[in-house]
Structure 1
């Protein structure tokens, strides 16, 4: 048998000089002007601009630099000096551009002029704003509202998001899927089911008091680096971090703070995790059950010895429901079953349970590695089970804290971008706007794609994003996308979705958050909600990339005016001219959460809109926090299949969702090529492969549709048995549209059954 190859890795730590070099490289590639550095200086600070990268909190006591590597990259990417002008579009057909990579398209720079697709010449051609609005409005009037989708990416602020939601409903539907449908919707559904709240219960100060943090399925080094600072502080005061993740992510093993020149230059990196469980894809349910099993054993020993119990029995009696059923399931499940389903050993699960039992205050953090599974909501439920056992919900230093990826994606849901009528403020819409909300639920992103493939979705308006590239099943979705009667894109840079125009298609270039938004009453403030349910003010101060750009808010107002019949209560011109009037609408629509919004959003860390579960008020069917009794031990939808492997898709260190900044996945030691597949050294030997061999991945779901991605280069990486890993969105063609989370319909991109072919 051949010797296993050496697993590739990064020898440095997260943060440190590597982060500064990464920022410097993007600054050079985008040729950002010196004023961009002033934007970075004011980023996430009172009076400044909220970052468009992650949804981390604005500090009440900001450090000199309140941005991370990815936040700086996102800002510099927005403030590039490159311009994608009408001359560029005159030189390239859309068919040609469709063959360009994600990176090449965005490197053309900022869009400068509204553009209309001309199917005769296969070019985007310049147009005027008045022509664009008039033509789009006229076309929307001819389409059945039931066949038009209003999609929202996660970056739009609360003001345009609120208007976008009412525009769709005034038009006649609730088709308001957003990027949450693709990523974190399982939290909105699964967490609400067990705590009564669709968002996390923690506040920033909880990180100053916790004894342990259980960290599942999230890579802070790439997706939310600013969280590393409070994690580092917690570790230094003795908090223990327990990680559940198939990959050994560098940011969860060691970190050097770029805010600390001494540590950067002379000091040792901080060792971040105390225990690291490399679960197999979907293995979190079983690993958490094993942890709970150990907690119960420790509680029984404590009872026998007459010392403080591990279980918080007073809390369990008063605040929870369903514990007995869960305990019966635990008792009936053997350690052997848990080891097989989780991919980790009994000793590892017991060690995790011991850390929990020895801690009085525990926080659970998770990301899409936990949620993007067929049974992702059950995985969330098991994490909540663990927290409930010790009363670690709704008190200082404890709670559940999902990490959002998009800036303001949580806030968009808060102010009405939802396809579910039950979650919309129907009565307030009637009272405040005289708006009768359509009675039928709209469709999720998956349901939109199903309608698209079926030919019943005829129109699409995209408030940002690159949805066609981000979704599953490219080989089925791409051909259908161009059959729509109308596609409208509110965008800052060119991307793949724009290269799949409908029969009538428009590019409407908008401002980025860091740019001035001058309306009738001057430069406008907008507001953003973070992962902790705090709402903060943001103002852009840079000169726009083109004099011909409009804000997202202004574009929505003009589209609505061109599409809808006049109504004296729908004051689109007034709302466009003064965003404070939109905030007044938000406050009237959500008075308990957004009262006095205009003043409170300017507080140093914004205002907290509240969360009943944080106060131990459970808006569930039973009126209590619900224990989950799992029906499966692994969150993957298909466990037994001939290939025996499960694909996990992920982002690189040089990436924000579908935006590719470059080809350096520094924190994993991978450079230059995104068409790769990571496999453990032992699996490479078992499968008779060798490093850098070219292979194909083929999906195995048994629906008769071949899904294949070829031209992938094998790399050895430290992974559990049965796991293969590759990049999003390149491997999205392997994710079946129908392979999604059972309740939320989020694509199950972290556990796709595949086989490897040579």
Structure 2
């Protein structure tokens, strides 16, 4: 627990020696094998392997070290010399391990052999692969098809993901929830509705041409550090950056380039944000509306005085729909309503709008601060409204840029991992594989989790991830997860989800991306899609952590072969032997996106699968980009009340999603613990709390379910009044299942209603 006087108002810059020290510390703790430096040298480069951390693009003109602190940590963590062998279980029961932390579980090392849970001894025991596949298939075959879920995290390559989706449909359902259900599904739904594209519109070249970034609810310093290099280059050529975030994130304040020797020697920092606006949690709608009001008023004044218009009227008239309704809404909403809602002054919003109006080309960047809200789709609609006002979608140097959190999470959706049947070319599957694909929509991950709680879901198969830890309502899930007939997890390391085995439970260990994937036709290439819709080849060069590991594709194909009806066109063994055959299938299924797939996959910088909205082709109902009017000025589904706070869940500098590398959140000055509650000093005083007090958080969802997280130390932190912060995934215990965006169902983890209880 840090002392109050030791907490800086702002910590040191992102990057720099702090980044290198963090990598060195993880190197010591993870015990990486020899040759890891050579592995890092190949990371994110042509004919190398693609980072398994975030989904930031891989440029064609790469640097000598084309990885960031997060990427280095992910690679070091996976390439540890530590091993979790079957012998580990001779000294540990599953019940014993429930007391271990997430970090301690990961530190056991790489899994080395397939395991099956033995309820008699409460241990996992070794099982051979053929027996495991046969038993899994036998368990799946008699189950009602709608009762089985095929979940995937964002790790697996496009080839394994395509077969995973094909397996589910050949088995008989579209129950294909994915990790994007918990983070950027709001993007897929919200953007699709307003611009006709479910992904962002920018490409790498736009970053070199933009003269302004507007950031909303995204933190590159912790979640996508490689983004800091384009931001630094933008600032050096005179671009402006304006940030809206309830939390002052160091990556958007200052940066020292660790690949610049002069900067490292001198400590030369570059200021990232020209303006930084700490709005109240969940009030981006009001803040963005304020920006739009300022633009509209400036245009009114320009027209009255005969000056050049501020709004891009030719674009509005040719490319947009429902502008009249939106502009009337903006005019009718008072400045007082806007500022009261978001907590920013009118002048602050006008200052930000002035930067927007002076810029010819603007990129709007956002992350889960917009998507993980009860009305996250309204947030996205408002950001698009702002960009449309001056034609900032569909031209060089401008566009909408959602930053995805997990490598290939976007690509998995592209190749068929989706629960909505209308998104899938079922006719192509019917033609290629001679079976009738199911037409009924499958289950979203939140519905699947509720189905486990209710006893409706009988089996969950996970292609990667730590699903139980990532989902809301942790305690309710823990009480129900073991009641399933079957749980299967394809994993590289031990995690908390393994500690809640179903009646039959299997851990199937898989290769890491950096490892050689030797099949019948040699070492295999996989492919991934980044946040900019670029497809990249990835090939491993390291010896596998264990000779008994299989690739994600090989495991998927073997389960499919055991669980689905025989079909001569489902050639699981052939596809396992040559991933190029799977890429041929992907190209045949999605010919517009994957033309000349095998030929282009190793192109430096990747190949672009295209995006109609980037070319101002709007695949919406109106055939135009849609202006939208939100239902209210915030994205919350609850009202403020005495003693009720808006909990913002956050990642530390020392984690990636549910993987906890350690206990150092250097950007916030928090060391040695994750059991903290960050709180505004005035809120602390009103609540009678002091720095270091121990408190608990209790859910204030009002649904009659008790949810509590205790043992938190209060830390004074610069946050807006009424907003408190604590760490994900620990806070998932407080998030109500079903409390999420009304369109996408993405959990509203950035605005959780809570109360603080002393002691």
TM-score for both structures, normalised by structure 1: 0.99
The answer to whether the Cα contact below 8 Å between 2:16 and 2:267 also exists between their aligned partners in 1 is no
2:393 maps to 1:389: no
Q: Find the aligned partners of 1:443 and 1:210 in 2 and give their Cα distance.
A: 40
Shift in alpha-carbon separation, 1:396–1:470, aligned structure 2, 3 A: same
Describe how 1:147-162 pairs up with structure 2 within 5 A: 147-162=147-162
Describe how 1:259-274 pairs up with structure 2 within 5 A: 259-274=259-274
How far 1:12 sits from its partner (Å)? 1.4
2:590 maps to 1:590: yes
Cα deviation code 1:669-719 (max 9, x no counterpart)? 111110100001121112111001001111112111111111110001111
Q: Find the aligned partners of 2:354 and 2:101 in 1 and give their Cα distance.
A: 48
Which residue pairs with 1:344 in the alignment? 344
Which residue pairs with 2:487 in the alignment? 487
Which residue pairs with 1:523 in the alignment? 523
Cα deviation code 1:380-429 (max 9, x no counterpart)? 00000000000000000100000001000000000000000011111111
Which residue pairs with 1:216 in the alignment? 216
The answer to whether the Cα contact below 8 Å between 2:11 and 2:666 also exists between their aligned partners in 1 is no
The answer to whether the Cα contact below 8 Å between 2:212 and 2:359 also exists between their aligned partners in 1 is yes
2:234 maps to 1:247: no
Cα deviation code 1:97-127 (max 9, x no counterpart)? 1221100101000000110101111110111
Q: Find the aligned partners of 1:509 and 1:751 in 2 and give their Cα distance.
A: 36
**Secondary structure of 2:427 counterpart:** helix
Which residue pairs with 2:599 in the alignment? 599
Cα deviation code 1:173-215 (max 9, x no counterpart)? 1000010001110000001000000000001111111121100
Out of 647-656 and 698-707, give the one that drifted further.
698-707
Q: Find the aligned partners of 2:606 and 2:123 in 1 and give their Cα distance.
A: 45
Cα deviation code 1:21-80 (max 9, x no counterpart)? 111111111111231111101100011000000111111111111000000000000100
Shift in alpha-carbon separation, 1:731–1:267, aligned structure 2, 3 A: closer
Out of 299-308 and 710-719, give the one that drifted further.
299-308
Describe how 1:554-703 pairs up with structure 2 within 5 A: 554-703=554-703
Describe how 1:14-29 pairs up with structure 2 within 5 A: 14-29=14-29
**Secondary structure of 1:506 counterpart:** strand
Q: Note the residue ranges of structure 1 that are not aligned, 5 or more in a row.
A: none
Which residue pairs with 2:715 in the alignment? 715
Q: Find the aligned partners of 2:509 and 2:10 in 1 and give their Cα distance.
A: 39
Cα deviation code 1:547-605 (max 9, x no counterpart)? 00000000011111111121111111100000000000000000111011001111111
How far 1:313 sits from its partner (Å)? 0.3
Describe how 1:299-314 pairs up with structure 2 within 5 A: 299-314=299-314
How far 1:10 sits from its partner (Å)? 4.7
**Secondary structure of 1:34 counterpart:** coil
Q: Find the aligned partners of 2:702 and 2:82 in 1 and give their Cα distance.
A: 47
How far 1:8 sits from its partner (Å)? 4.2
Q: Find the aligned partners of 1:350 and 1:521 in 2 and give their Cα distance.
A: 61
Kindly report the root-mean-square deviation, in angstroms, between the aligned alpha carbons of the 2 structures.
1.1
Which residue pairs with 2:131 in the alignment? 131
Q: Find the aligned partners of 1:212 and 1:336 in 2 and give their Cα distance.
A: 27
How far 1:6 sits from its partner (Å)? 8.5
Which residue pairs with 1:434 in the alignment? 434
Q: Find the aligned partners of 2:298 and 2:747 in 1 and give their Cα distance.
A: 38
How far 1:312 sits from its partner (Å)? 0.5
Q: Find the aligned partners of 1:435 and 1:218 in 2 and give their Cα distance.
A: 43
Q: Find the aligned partners of 1:6 and 1:419 in 2 and give their Cα distance.
A: 49
Q: Note the residue ranges of structure 2 that are not aligned, 5 or more in a row.
A: none
TM-score for both structures, normalised by structure 2: 0.98
Which residue pairs with 2:83 in the alignment? 83
Q: Find the aligned partners of 2:550 and 2:179 in 1 and give their Cα distance.
A: 22
Q: Find the aligned partners of 1:8 and 1:482 in 2 and give their Cα distance.
A: 45
Q: Find the aligned partners of 2:340 and 2:437 in 1 and give their Cα distance.
A: 49
Cα deviation code 1:629-657 (max 9, x no counterpart)? 01010111112233231000011000001
Which residue pairs with 2:102 in the alignment? 102
Cα deviation code 1:490-542 (max 9, x no counterpart)? 00000000000000000100000000000000000000100000001000010
How far 1:9 sits from its partner (Å)? 4.2
2:543 maps to 1:543: yes
Q: Find the aligned partners of 1:184 and 1:343 in 2 and give their Cα distance.
A: 26
The answer to whether the Cα contact below 8 Å between 1:9 and 1:669 also exists between their aligned partners in 2 is no
**Secondary structure of 1:698 counterpart:** strand
2:489 maps to 1:477: no
The answer to whether the Cα contact below 8 Å between 1:10 and 1:666 also exists between their aligned partners in 2 is no
Q: Find the aligned partners of 2:510 and 2:250 in 1 and give their Cα distance.
A: 36
Q: Find the aligned partners of 1:20 and 1:7 in 2 and give their Cα distance.
A: 21
Q: Find the aligned partners of 2:271 and 2:58 in 1 and give their Cα distance.
A: 26
Q: Find the aligned partners of 2:485 and 2:284 in 1 and give their Cα distance.
A: 44
**Secondary structure of 1:583 counterpart:** helix
Q: Find the aligned partners of 1:22 and 1:753 in 2 and give their Cα distance.
A: 34
How many residue pairs get aligned? The number is: 755
The answer to whether the Cα contact below 8 Å between 1:245 and 1:277 also exists between their aligned partners in 2 is yes
Which residue pairs with 2:330 in the alignment? 330
